[in-house]
Amino acid sequence: MRAFIGIRIIPFEGIKEVLKELRKKGGIKTVEEENLHINIKFLGEISEKQAEEVKEVLKKLKAKPFNALINGIGFFPSENFIRVIFIKVISEELMKINEFIEEKLYEKGFMKEKREYAPHITLARVKRPLSKKEAGYLKEKEIKKEIRIREIELIKSTLTKQKPVYETIFKVSLS
């Protein structure tokens, strides 16, 4: 199964507005509202045995519910070469959770992520160059809200011709 560890996000008005605007533009594929999430760790193709190991790690996670700040739009890999449009997420607690999961999964034989963890919510994938005006307009959008994080999920991702379908395999409540 193709899977990742993440936090599902319920879109609020600011996110919905940006997604609506992005859908009007050609060459941009937006994420479906029901699939919005903060990725903690992309696992790729894993076996049932590996899924059980991930569940074991998530059960050992010691964290209380916490707030994360959603603050502004960013671009991957850079503003000059935009392939992904995302919303920045700021949270020290989320950084600690990622570090814990990376370390514990590495001990079980999973590969560590080479890039530094940058919490975000992907809004769209860009198939064509964005103009400076389009990028500037997006950067100016005021998206700022504190959200409460209460659960972390192991999510199976099935790619279909229409859209990816996400299914929660395991959920841990923070307490």
18: left (phi over 0), alpha (psi -120 to 50) or beta: alpha
pLDDT of residue 52: 98
**Taking residues 148-156, what's their average pLDDT?**
98
Q: Are 143 and 14 in contact (CB under 8 A)?
A: yes
* 114 Cβ neighbours under 8 A, 6+ residues apart: none
pLDDT of residue 156: 98
Does the pLDDT at position 167 exceed 90? yes
**Taking residues 53-69, what's their average pLDDT?**
97
User: CATH no. for residue 61?
Assistant: 3.90.1140.10
Dihedral of the alpha carbons of 11, 89, 129, 30, in degrees to the nearest 10: -20
- The active-site residue, picked from 18, 22, 31, 37, is 37
Does the pLDDT at position 131 exceed 90? no
Does the pLDDT at position 7 exceed 90? yes
Find residue 147's DSSP bridge partners.
Answer: 68
Query: Structurally, how many domains does the chain consist of?
Result: 1
3-state secondary structure of 81: strand
Is residue 106 annotated as a catalytic residue, yes or no? no
Does the pLDDT at position 162 exceed 90? no
Is residue 37 annotated as a catalytic residue, yes or no? yes
Q: Cα 105 from chain centroid?
A: 18
- The active-site residue, picked from 120, 135, 156, 166, is 120
pLDDT of residue 141: 87
pTM of the predicted protein model: 0.92
| Domain housing 143 | 2-173
